[in-house]
Chains A and B, each alone.
Chain A
């Protein structure tokens, strides 16, 4: 037997992150007392370097490597570039918070880098095993991160819940994958799609497997009725870790949905679109209504995540799959809107948790609505930042969140689900209440805590850039929308 040397070039960003993770680990072990900043700077350098490599090696073609297990296409380039930028922001926002709590250890940076690597592998997966491998690398790193604060009973409980439910979800996903393997005889995603058009394939086994795949996927992105872990984990984890869970993994989750369902099982679209429709409608309803009752901002944002992920799924539901016969861009517009929604949500979520991190300091945990009272008196600019984020999440023009909702709703209407679109708009209106309540608390209530905000200047600067991105992309969303649509159009060819 002869093993041909695989083409490592498409995976160069992954290899770089892996090598740098080992370097960060060794640097953390052998650094001197005065070099406490070393792991932090190395992590940022890794993410910046990975972004540079990703952009530098980006090509217009789709390249398969590692015997068809790994794909490098426009979709993965765009999603991974967003991923590095998000994780970069997460690391910068988190440092002060972690230092104030004695959690800023090398392990944090290491686990963040491994989670990033897991997400990279997920985004580039063209094989069920690669997808699962990436998912587990991401999940295991995040379980450990949630339990980073070992003394806190609440985070340990959250980590335990997350671990048990996450393991169950992985089990469901694997079971679904094994069913699909049983029906098609292959685990390679593009080969499965080819097998589906073969009339000899057992469709019943496929549908059975599909149910488990969708359930596992729904668990991982946290949509109703598989959302139970989201509020508890968001609430229990240290805020810096909530920031990580609530942002970058959504990009990987979106890519997982695209690779599994759109790339892998296109002929079963009628089946999975029905399932996703149920999940989406339930998530939008429950997320927006239950969030009103929350007094804890982290729990409120958790329910808001559920409703936003429901919206993202609506985009996937509306995509028309004309089975590669005519792979023009117009067809993938609905999937492009889902991708745009995901990127927009990640931007908003990073900024929202970023402001929460800004309000904390040693011994003070800002996480209830009361902590936001009178923020305008304490810092008019960051009150404005959080206001922009809340307006954007509520879908008020002209922020990015508005165009994300608009794009998805246009796709939903174009696909003929008029009542679903009306329903989604109604519930977004209900949801606007709790976003606007935050704005009211910041501007019209007396502050309970008048201490000045403590934060490093790099965090203030990056958070401002993040907020401005929400506003600026909101003013000219077309280029990002087109980018999403072309990336998906190419991935579906």
Chain B
């Protein structure tokens, strides 16, 4: 019974190793020249420690949301492209309709100026 769980144990061990070995190796082998900028935590463009009630540029989020939408579209396209030969014309037309609806959305955001930074 227990032997069936052996692959899982192996998986856990490799997972732990994968996390720790590079860190330890980096500490032992790599050169270490710290300065204040390198030591400060990195938080995608924001100061890491300050009041949470600050003003931020909402356009950043607009671009991020639009990116996610079109990124998901690509995620749909990959499996569709692989099985395209099997699903035939129906699958092709269905995806074209899906893309067509997305294009309408794209025209909308373009025309409304969601893509202009200034």
Please indicate whether A and B come from the same complex rather than being unrelated chains. yes
Q: What is A's interface to B at a CB cutoff of 8 Å?
A: 1-3, 5, 22, 25-26, 29-30
Stretch at the interface among B8-16, B38-46, B85-93: B85-93
Is B72's beta carbon under 8 Å from chain A?
Answer: no
CB-defined contacts of B64 to chain A, threshold 8 Å: none
CB-defined contacts of B90 to chain A, threshold 8 Å: 3, 5
Interchain residue pairs with CB less than 8 A apart (11): A2-B88, A3-B87, A3-B90, A3-B91, A5-B90, A22-B101, A25-B108, A26-B107, A29-B107, A29-B111, A29-B112
Residue among B83, B86, B108, B111 having the largest count of chain A Cβ atoms under 10 Å? B108
Main secondary structure of the interface of A (DSSP, over half): helix
Check if B88 sits within 8 Å of A26, measured CB to CB.
no
Is B104's beta carbon under 8 Å from chain A?
Answer: yes
* Residues in B64-118 with C-beta less than 8 Å from chain A: 83, 86-88, 90-91, 101, 104, 107-108, 111-112
Taking the closest CB of chain A, its distance from the CB of B61, in whole angstroms, is 16
Q: Report the Cα distance A295→B83, complex, angstroms.
A: 62
Q: What is B's interface to A at a CB cutoff of 8 Å?
A: 83, 86-88, 90-91, 101, 104, 107-108, 111-112
Check if A25 sits within 8 Å of B104, measured CB to CB.
yes
CB-defined contacts of A3 to chain B, threshold 8 Å: 87-88, 90-91
CB-defined contacts of A5 to chain B, threshold 8 Å: 90
CB-defined contacts of A29 to chain B, threshold 8 Å: 107-108, 111-112
In-complex Cβ contact of B86 among A1, A25, A30 (8 A): A1
Chain B's closest residue to A3 (CB) is B90
CB-defined contacts of B86 to chain A, threshold 8 Å: 1
Check if B87 sits within 8 Å of A1, measured CB to CB.
yes
CB-defined contacts of A1 to chain B, threshold 8 Å: 83, 86-87
CB-defined contacts of B107 to chain A, threshold 8 Å: 26, 29
Check if A26 sits within 8 Å of B104, measured CB to CB.
yes
Chain B's closest residue to A2 (CB) is B88
Chain B's closest residue to A106 (CB) is B108
Taking the closest CB of chain A, its distance from the CB of B53, in whole angstroms, is 17
Taking the closest CB of chain B, its distance from the CB of A147, in whole angstroms, is 15
Taking the closest CB of chain B, its distance from the CB of A35, in whole angstroms, is 15
CB-defined contacts of A30 to chain B, threshold 8 Å: 111
Taking the closest CB of chain B, its distance from the CB of A23, in whole angstroms, is 9
CB-defined contacts of B88 to chain A, threshold 8 Å: 2-3
Taking the closest CB of chain A, its distance from the CB of B103, in whole angstroms, is 10
Taking the closest CB of chain B, its distance from the CB of A205, in whole angstroms, is 27
Having A3-B90, A22-B101, A30-B111, one finds 17 other A-B pairs with CB under 8 Å, namely: A1-B83, A1-B86, A1-B87, A2-B88, A3-B87, A3-B88, A3-B91, A5-B90, A22-B104, A25-B104, A25-B108, A26-B104, A26-B107, A29-B107, A29-B108, A29-B111, A29-B112
Q: Report the Cα distance A30→B104, complex, angstroms.
A: 12
Residue among B83, B104, B112 having the largest count of chain A Cβ atoms under 10 Å? B104
5 interchain residue pairs of minimum CB distance: A29-B111, A3-B90, A22-B104, A1-B86, A3-B87
CB-defined contacts of B111 to chain A, threshold 8 Å: 29-30
Q: Report the Cα distance A1→B83, complex, angstroms.
A: 10
